[in-house]
Amino acid sequence: MKFGKEFTAQMVQEWQEAYMDYNKLKLILKDILRFKNQNKAPSPMAATTRGSLKRRASLYRAFSGLTSRYRSGSPMKNNEDEVILVSAVQEEGREGDFQTMFLLSSEEGGEFELLFFRRLDDEFNKVLKFYRKKVEEVMVEADELSKQMNALIALRIKVDNPVVGGTDMVNLASAANGFSSNFSSAVHPTHGGRPGWTKMDVIQEVEMSYEGTSDEEIKEDNDREKQNGGDTNIQGFRPASLEVLNHVKINVEPETPVSTLRGVIKSSKSDLSFSRQELRQAEEKIIKALVEFYRKLRLLRSYCFLNQLAFSKIMKKYDKITSRNASKAYLEMVDKSDLGSSDEVSKLMERVEATYVKHFANGNHRKGMKILRPQAKKEKHRISFLYGFFSGCSIALIVAIIVHIHARNLLKSEGRHDYMANIFPLYSLFGYMVLHMLMYAGNIYFWKRYRVNFSFIFGFKQGTELGYREVLLLSTGLSLITLAGVISHLDMEIDPGRKSFQVVTELIPVFLLATVLSIIFCPFNIIYRSSRFFLIRCTFHCVCAPLYKVTLPDFFLADQLTSQMQAFRSLEFYVCYYFWGDFTKRTNTCADSEVYKVFYIVVAIIPFWFRFLQCLRRLFEEKDASQGLNALKYFSTIAALALRTIYQFQTQKTTTWLVLAAASSGVATIYNTYWDIVIDWGLLRRDAANPWLRDKLIVPHKAVYFVAMVLNCILRLAWMQQVLGIQSVPFLHNTALIAVVASLEIIRRGIWNFFRLENEHLNNVGKYRAFKSVPLPFYYGDDGDKSL
């Protein structure tokens, strides 16, 4: 693989604009090479003569020293091959930019090389400024974490050994200067406290700061303690003061509907109660913060290394094309800059590793590093084999069903209507699920292909996110068992003796539904448990929409549910068919029940209601007016859906209800389509770099975006099937037509998913947002907004 492709593949995608633009510099080098190729090469004799003269002049200059040059007060090396002079422009109060002076610009074609070094300086200074900024940020965050660790150690001592909080510990703490506020002091704790500790165990727990402290610093601290009348009998030991607990409060209560309601009445932040549960929850939060902080340090170190390598590669390419020796001088400058000489990140990584291993992994280095550096998920060949096998079996079953229908001429059977009205809606539920999973698998494939960081956007734990192969495995497995149930349920002929169907056969859809639900809620670590629990948690957050802080996975899932409206109605039909109908004779009275009709509207509205409440929660929490407009969009959709369904149930359809249904649906369609394309996708920007699209695009073919917009508009008009009274077509039963319309909405949602996440990814890139914000447990009691 060429370096350019490897460089792009290893970038932190959210920081891609902060990396050196390798391709732009390479284009300039191609211009230099093209210029050199266009000029005729001199004859061999002339080249030999020129080389001889050059060597002769070189010997004379080296001997006499007459060629020594000094520019801007900075002596240059006595080297006839010197072509650049690199210097730093100092600015007030901070380190300045680096500038390169090209000394051979008067040569033929020198303007191209001059342009190259100008662009090179721009790229280097951009990289250097970004790196310095990020290093400053992680140093501030390190100080924050060190204070959190101080409070955690003090809380751990207080919880595990309450007596130590008395006179003995107070005297011991007063004899020392407390924890050092820098991170090197806070990231070298020993093993966590446990019940039954001795006094020496407690001393070892708080012995942190001197593990990374020099002898001179230890001596200075001891001298300071002697002047203060302190006890320095314990050499190399600076215990933590438990007084820190008098100045902090804790907020470790997990977010639940009850805690949200309590927070509306009063602040959820509470005083320390010194309970073990409080300690455990604080430890969990700090562990998450350390893991995320360590990930940030790893990415920052990777950013530094990749850019150094890129500058090395581009300078060596320059030397090769121009036959000069400029890379040595420039790379020496790179090595001496913060990008090459700064070691703050490496030291912080070592200290975080020491903290985590000693304090949260009981000294087990392998266990600690397994958490800090999770292994990339390996692709398993058996997954590809299984989803290929399931796909083949599913296709075979589809062929078998088609042959069975034609062989027995079931399309003209007397039981055809009963089957389509009673059995088809039961199996269509699984069809909707399979189609949605297939669309999601396609989304994952294209997100990975175009390097959309969907796992970060959704907040998946590293190594647990499902790839498109795993999703295909689940979807093809579900389609296989569903099609097996369909082919075993195709008997449309009633038993003339008993005038009924076999009970076991008629209960196959219930068995399938129970199987799917049991797999989803299975507590054992099988069939991607972490992903199943993630789905359950997000679903629960949707159900309790206003009582949970709305995150992207929550409202993204709620949007998916809005496209599964017909699936919710199929679930309602399950209840009606098996509890109020006579499933042994394939008959039901659902359509005649007023209660069923009411719930037919209600279950379809439920997912839109979830999104409406989520928008309201974000409106009040984030004070974002756009969320109010988004809530209004979903409310208009609810009204349109209700009016359309009422009009559909009318025996004698009136013009008034037709106008209301058509008008509300038209307004909702225009509103939703505009929001999809302009707000969710960020397209139709008139003054964008890509006209009528947006400034940045991930898919290289612009036509894809225009096709997607047209398809979204067309598929949004599927509601017209209800308003226009198109209940059936010559070759499709009414229930089949409903299934087709519902499938079109699922396909539209799959298209929407890709461009919605693409826009979210580009927003993260524009803001260099590559990390999650992890809440910390401790904060100052005087200022609730100021964390430790």
Q: What is the mean pLDDT of each run of 10 residues along the chain (788 residues)?
A: 81 87 89 79 46 40 33 41 68 64 71 85 90 91 88 83 46 29 39 39 38 46 49 42 76 68 58 79 88 91 92 89 84 87 88 88 86 78 92 94 84 79 91 96 95 90 87 96 88 56 83 94 91 94 90 94 94 90 79 88 94 94 92 95 88 84 91 94 90 91 95 86 61 84 94 95 81 79 48
Q: Please, what sign has the CA dihedral across residues 543, 548, 554, 559?
A: positive
- Give the Cα separation of 198 and 135 in Å (integer): 41
Cα R_g (the chain), whole angstroms: 35
Q: How far apart are CA 609 and CA 624, in angstroms?
A: 19
What b-and-e string marks burial along 330-369, b requiring 16 or more CB atoms within 10 Å of the CB?
bbebbeebebbeeeebeebbebbbbbbbbbbbeeeeeebe
Check residue 534 and give its pLDDT.
94
Burial class (CB in 10 A: 0-12, 13-18, 19+), 288: middle
Do residues 17 and 761 make contact, with C-beta atoms less than 8 angstroms apart? no
Cα separations in angstroms, 449 against 396, 699, 754, 758: 30, 10, 12, 12
Q: What is the pLDDT of residue 775?
A: 81
**Cα 516 to Cα 479: distance, rounded to the nearest angstrom:** 12
- Helix locations, 163-275, DSSP H: 167-174, 183-186, 199-206, 215-227, 257-265
The helix or strand, by DSSP H or E, that contains position 120, with its residue range, turns out to be helix 110-160
Residue where the block lists tokens 């001795």: 198
- DSSP-derived secondary structure letter, 693: B
**Cβ 297 vs Cβ 347: under 8 Å:** no
A 10 A CB-CB count for 294 gives 20
> In angstroms, rounded to a whole number, what is the distance separating the alpha carbons of residues 275 and 280?
9
Which residues are within 8 A (CB) of 51 and not within 5 positions of it... i.e. 6 or more apart? none
CB 697 within 8 Å of CB 765 = no
Predicted local distance difference test score (pLDDT) of residue 263: 62
What's the pLDDT score for residue 206? 40
Query: What is the distance between the alpha carbons of residues 587 and 556, in angstroms, rounded to a whole number?
Result: 38
Structure-block tokens of residue 201: 């165990």
Q: What's the predicted TM-score (pTM) here? A: 0.80
Q: Give me the pLDDT at residue 175, please.
A: 26
In the chain, count of helices (H) and strands (E)? Answer: 30, 6
Question: 159 in helix, strand or coil?
Answer: helix
The residue whose two tokens read 């087709």 is 740
Distance, CA of 300 to CA of 292 (rounded, Å): 12
Q: Could you tell me which residues are beta bridge partners of residue 249?
A: 779
Nearest-10 Cα torsion for 139, 141, 142, 147: 130
What token pair was written down for 574? 């399950």
Question: Helix, strand, or coil here: 70?
Answer: strand
- Are 780 and 788 in contact by the 8 Å Cβ rule? The answer is yes
